[in-house]
Copies of this chain bind each other. A is one copy, B any other.
Amino acid sequence: MTTTDELIANAARYADSFDKGDLPLPPARQVAVVACMDARLNPYGLLGLSEGDAHVIRNAGGVVTADQLRSLAISQRLLGTTEIILIHHTDCGMLTFTDDAFKAGIQAETGQKPAWAAEAFTDLDEDVRQSIRRIQADPFIPVKDSVRGFVYDVHTGKLHEVK
């Protein structure tokens, strides 16, 4: 039995007690969260989110690249969100390597160098600011009055806002 099989069995139990079948498509809290994919960062527990509340967008680092700008444009333009919350976190894997070394390793193994930037970073707060700036500079995201960035401490559970 694979881990996937075990998680699918969990999903069957979730369905057995499911009582949220009438929720509307647009997020009730009108907020979109962009967070790192890190296993220790649970946006539902952390922010007190329930089914139906918020869009949750996640990737390696919680960095804003073209696909997050696409998702945010869809979130605001089609589904009415108006606030954006960015969350990076301490002890992030993205602090442990450089783009150059990571991509050189892949090239040595596969013969090809990825066409994407790995988006590794060395300063958490500064990378949050970088992601905020990419949103502020984007011409397709209409509502930018509340774009706020945070760093989550995986050892204490605390969130601090990046100014």
Contact = CB atoms under 8 A, between A and B. Distances in A.
A30 interface: yes
How many copies of this chain sit in the oligomeric assembly? Answer: 2
Give the interface size bracket for A toward B: 35 or more
A137 to B, nearest CB: 13
A15 B158 contact: yes
Nearest to A114: B140
Contacts of A40: 20, 23, 25, 51-52
Given A52-B39, A68-B67, A139 B112 contact: yes
A37 B57 contact: yes
29 contacts: A2-B146, A3-B29, A4-B31, A4-B85, A8-B161, A10-B47, A10-B48, A11-B46, A11-B47, A12-B159, A14-B46, A14-B157, A18-B156, A18-B157, A20-B40, A21-B155, A23-B40, A25-B40, A25-B93, A26-B39, A28-B39, A38-B55, A40-B52, A57-B60, A60-B71, A67-B67, A67-B68, A67-B116, A78-B102
